[in-house]
Structure 1
Amino acid sequence: MNTVNIGMVGYKFMGKAHSNAYRALPMFFPHSLKPSMNVICGRNLEAVAAAGKQFGWKEHTSDWRDLLDRDDIDLIDINAPSNAHKEIAIAAAKAGKHLYCEKPLALSLADSREMLEAAEKAGVKHMVGFNYRFTPAIMLAKQLIEEGRLGDIYHFRAWFLQDWIVDPSFPLVWRLQQEIAGSGALGDLGAHLIDLSHYLIGDISEVIGMSETFIKERPLPDESGGLSAITGDTAATGPVTVDDATLFLARFANGALGTFEATRFATGHRSTNSFEINGSKGSVIFDFERMNELQVHFSEDEADVQGFRRVLATDPPHAYSDAWWPAGHPIGYEHTFTHAFLELLDAIQKDRQPSPSFSEGVKCQQVLEAVELSIKDRKWIQVSSL
């Protein structure tokens, strides 16, 4: 088997990102299985046809069920809105298709567990879209932790700040509707922070949070796509039913403390995805707006050179650096998806489960639900109790 045949459900922001990643794989990772972009699916037949032509897909359809019985589909890539994930994933698993699903995995913890159970019962490969794990600088941070070079970990503080909906006249897109998105800043942005904390630090044992929806009503959109929308001609509005911002505290199973902030109301921050980790021997700071860099401090350095140093994670032996550009030449957001799909295709080729799998998606969903429950009950919630 040298090729993996793909059917993709979704064609907007994430659909473009995934398509670009599939197209890059054979050029930069020639020893990987080759992705064959066979069918792209979306509800608007005219729009998905245009996207399919632009992105390089062979065929298009408006019904994802068309993908299930086709022998030329091995993997179904789900990047449709969150409320569609469960039905598509379970049906695809029963049809024997491998799965890649964007985060958050589902609208609820119960739904995510059903998805995992279906995938495990079918014996298919399953992966959730936590692409930031595949940033070389973040992988360097993990290496430093695993090698003990930061010592005992005391603190993980993380923040994901955006400002794209600060204007009250911005329309009521699907990401602001609970029945479609599940939650707002918490599930969209906070999920990435939670997964990175699991990847770098370990399991979260308990949480307590607070949230706010600053703009309660918004104009209804004429059309929307990705993170943009066009307001309709009427004055009709609808309620915002998700959080605009959520903050929570966490305690990790290993004793470390965590602080998390996810907001779409941090004016001046387009997409500030950052964390700082403090240990007994040193610290690291990461900011995705400078994604090729990791700020590193080692307490054992001589006193006259103590402080954070800038490490550029673009040269060997940093992850993936030998596949891309000459030393010092940066990579971008889109490359994280290429690295994620490289992991998925390698797992298919070697008959193993990729990471992060649906199991990690469920673990993240468990924390999301614990945070929501803590906000509702105004108290600490044990994650393992859910």
Structure 2
Amino acid sequence: MTNLGIGLIGYAFMGAAHSQAWRSAPRFFDLPLQPDMTVLCGRSADAVSEAAGKLGWSQTETDWRKLLNRDDVQLIDICTPGDSHAEIAIAALRAGKHVLCEKPLANTVAEAEQMAAAAAEAAANGIRSMVGFTYRRVPAIGLARQLVAEGKIGTIRHVRAQYLQDWIADPEAPLSWRLDKEKAGSGALGDIGAHIVDLTQYITGDRITEVSGQLETFVKERPVAAAHSGLSGEAGTERGPVTVDDAAIFLARFGDGGLGVFEATRFATGRKNAIRIEINGSEGSLAFDFEDMNELHFYDATEPAETAGFRRILVTEASHPYVAAWWPPGHLLGYEHGFTHQVVDLVTAIAEGKDPEPSFADGLQVQRVLAAVEDSSTSRQWQEIPE
């Protein structure tokens, strides 16, 4: 096999980002397999046809099950709301298709366990699966992981992580599927909190073992959007309940003894997509902010006090993760590049017969952390994360 036929399910925000990645990856990286943008799937024939023409897909389907029977599709890319992840992914794996599934892996731990079990069974037959925590593929994050692994900041003592947005700070912002627990599983906790859980575990090489958290829904009801009401135009006078959290905060303990403080909110007025991570170790510190995503700040505590200070590293050198395929030093990368790097890693793993990372098992572990935070908010007690 020299071509890898892709079937993408979903064509909205994430579908567009994944489409960009499938288009650009083989044009900038020397891939062992050639991705073929074979078919785009969505429920509305007219809408999916329009999206396919815009995004670069050859054919369309309106029933995702038909993708599983197509010989020209070897990989299923799932960009749907969380309530359909388990059904699609498990069916695709059992049909012998590789799977890329957007995060969070599922809406519940039980679903994630079923998906991880199906992935393990499929892996025994050479079928690969990966969950889409794309921020791992930001070059500065890759460099941070490398510096921690090399012992540059010593033993990790503190982890601070925030994911700050404000897109529903307006109480009149309409309902969407992301505010519906049945479709989304959770709110800020699962949608954006999942990212900082994964990122901190990835950078540190350690896992969260215990959490104490609090969830809050600040706006309990919102206008019903056209997509919910079946009407055309903007939101009307009808209002519906918000059934997920608007914000989540939690404390965490890591396996090697480090302490963590986490915050995920959609009510940080003025913050559009700020991911902030700081890690303090016995020999130094690292700090990252996605709003300056090409930079990593590094403090070396072994330097003399007279000259010590945080060092700004512009992560655009060819020696930095993924960067060599792109532009000369100082020419910055953007949000979309993480999705391209994800494609590169996945296609390479498939060609080499290796299990890609993050795996469905990694996605399950993050799901268990999210569930423990939710349980802690209800019980007002610390919750351990099951192995």
What band does the TM-score fall into relative to the shorter chain? over 0.9
Aligned to 2:196: 193
Deviations 1:128-181 (A, max 9, x none): 010000111011111111001101100110000000001111111000000000
RMSD of the alignment, in Å? 1.3
Over 3 Å counting, the alpha-carbon distance change for 1:92 and 1:301 in structure 2 is same
Amino acid corresponding to residue 13 of structure 1 in structure 2: F
Distance, in Å, in 2 between the alignment partners of 1:231 and 1:130 is 34
Task: Give the alignment partner of residue 288 of structure 2, picking from 274, 286, 289.
Answer: 286
Indicate if the aligned counterparts of 2:225 and 2:236 stay in contact, CA closer than 8 A.
no
2:81 is the alignment partner of 1:81: yes
Number of residue-to-residue matches in the alignment: 381
Show structure 2 runs of 5+ residues with no match. none
Amino acid corresponding to residue 19 of structure 1 in structure 2: S
Report the CA distance between 1:230 and its aligned residue: 8.4
The 5-angstrom pairing of residues 14-53 of structure 1 reads 14-53=14-53
Indicate if the aligned counterparts of 1:25 and 1:34 stay in contact, CA closer than 8 A.
no
Report the CA distance between 1:304 and its aligned residue: 2.1
2:219 is the alignment partner of 1:215: yes
Indicate if the aligned counterparts of 1:171 and 1:230 stay in contact, CA closer than 8 A.
no
Report the CA distance between 1:316 and its aligned residue: 2.3
Aligned to 1:295: 297
Indicate if the aligned counterparts of 1:26 and 1:32 stay in contact, CA closer than 8 A.
no
**TM-score for the superposition, normalised by structure 2:** 0.96
Task: Give the alignment partner of residue 245 of structure 1, picking from 244, 247, 253.
Answer: 247
Distance, in Å, in 2 between the alignment partners of 1:119 and 1:382 is 25
The 5-angstrom pairing of residues 51-200 of structure 1 reads 51-123=51-123, 124-200=127-203
**TM-score for the superposition, normalised by structure 1:** 0.97
Aligned to 1:235: 237
- Between 1:57-66 and 1:301-310, the stretch displaced more is 301-310
Aligned to 1:8: 8
Aligned to 2:319: 317
Report the CA distance between 1:216 and its aligned residue: 0.3
Report the CA distance between 1:231 and its aligned residue: 6.4
Report the CA distance between 1:25 and its aligned residue: 1.0
Indicate if the aligned counterparts of 2:122 and 2:128 stay in contact, CA closer than 8 A.
no
Report the CA distance between 1:276 and its aligned residue: 0.2
Indicate if the aligned counterparts of 2:223 and 2:235 stay in contact, CA closer than 8 A.
no
Aligned to 1:381: 383
Identity %: 52
Distance, in Å, in 2 between the alignment partners of 1:17 and 1:32 is 22
- Between 1:3-12 and 1:297-306, the stretch displaced more is 297-306
Indicate if the aligned counterparts of 2:165 and 2:269 stay in contact, CA closer than 8 A.
yes
Show structure 1 runs of 5+ residues with no match. none
Distance, in Å, in 1 between the alignment partners of 2:73 and 2:185 is 29
Distance, in Å, in 2 between the alignment partners of 1:51 and 1:316 is 35
